Amino acid sequence: MALSNKLITFIIIIATFNKLAISSDDEDFGASAVCIGTNTTTGNPLYQNYNMSVSSLLFNLSLESKSPFPGFFTTSTGPSRAKAYGSYICWGDVSPKLCKKCVRLTTEAQLNQNVYEECFVFGIYLNSHLCFIRYANQSVNEYKKGFVVAMGPSGGKVADYTPYNRTLSTSIEGLIKEAEYGNWTRTNFATRVVPVNGSRDKIHILVQCTPVISAKNCSRCLQEAYDYVPIHYNGTQGGAIIHANCIVKFNNQSFIGGACRSLNPIYLHVYWVILISLFLVFV
């Protein structure tokens, strides 16, 4: 079931995710998937063991598992000829509790879907991607060039995008160099908030790699992802490019850690109404 060389050489998909149904456990959660290779849910007995391995793998990923890396876990299940390999990762600014919930709901959604040779599944909370689950019929812990998913731009064009682009380019390239030498505060995750000269804009940047790849490959991965920024996000307020082993995300609006504290404005309004009402009742 190996993927063809042509397929793994270059994979780029722009906003073509298949939306998956999330249980009623949390209406604010959703999931999207990009799957490649052969659909093994065909009744063919050759794939039966692999399909069982994938189901077992997803179940194992959904459980709380001990890992030396916060927000990241990798494992494999099944017999040698039908082994399924998988991992999950949560963005570094996501709380452990929200990470666990995102992984659980995302794997549950994927369990009801057809099985392919390889799938990338994204957990979404309040329209923000928080976690990323991957399974495959080969190791997922190695950096491979070409596994890029380019997501659509966020927001419109900035007013003066020439200095914006220049600042964005300089900042991300600096983070990529730091990654190569292992100079991030955390080995696989870094953020920056950078002011744009001559503008009120600030660019919020998040970069992250899976912790099982080397610092050099982390740098290579981020560079590969960033190469798509000038092509797809020229002058836009924000964007995110996710590689199988890394992510580059930026915006002129704060998003770092926002998923941990964001609430729909109407919920905040109701929250304050309840607090004020209780105060008036008990004073």
**Residues 21-40: pLDDT tens digits?**
555 456 788 898 999 999 99
Q: Quick one: pLDDT at residue 22? A: 55
Domain boundaries, the chain: 5-141, 154-252
pLDDT tops 50 at residue 221: yes
How many residues are recorded in the chain?
Answer: 283
Q: Which segments of the chain does DSSP mark as H helices, in order? A: 5-9, 48-62, 96-111, 161-180, 215-226, 229-232, 258-261, 265-282
Q: Which CATH architecture has domain 5-141?
A: 2-Layer Sandwich (3.30)
Q: Dihedral through CA 134, CA 113, CA 153, CA 227, nearest 10?
A: 30
- What is the distance between the alpha carbons of residues 90 and 73, in angstroms, rounded to a whole number? 10
> In this structure, are residues 110 and 21 in contact, taking their beta carbons and an 8 Å threshold?
no
* Same CATH fold assignment for domains 5-141 and 154-252: yes
Q: Quick one: pLDDT at residue 65? A: 65
154-252 fold: Killer Toxin P4; Chain A (3.30.430)
pTM of the full structure: 0.79
pLDDT tens-place string over residues 124-172: 887 778 899 999 999 999 998 988 876 777 788 888 888 999 999 999 9
- What is the distance between the alpha carbons of residues 209 and 69, in angstroms, rounded to a whole number? 12
pLDDT tops 70 at residue 16: no
Q: Quick one: pLDDT at residue 18? A: 55
Average pLDDT over the chain reads 81
Cβ-in-10-Å burial (0-12, 13-18, 19+) of 130 comes to buried
> In this structure, are residues 208 and 246 in contact, taking their beta carbons and an 8 Å threshold?
yes
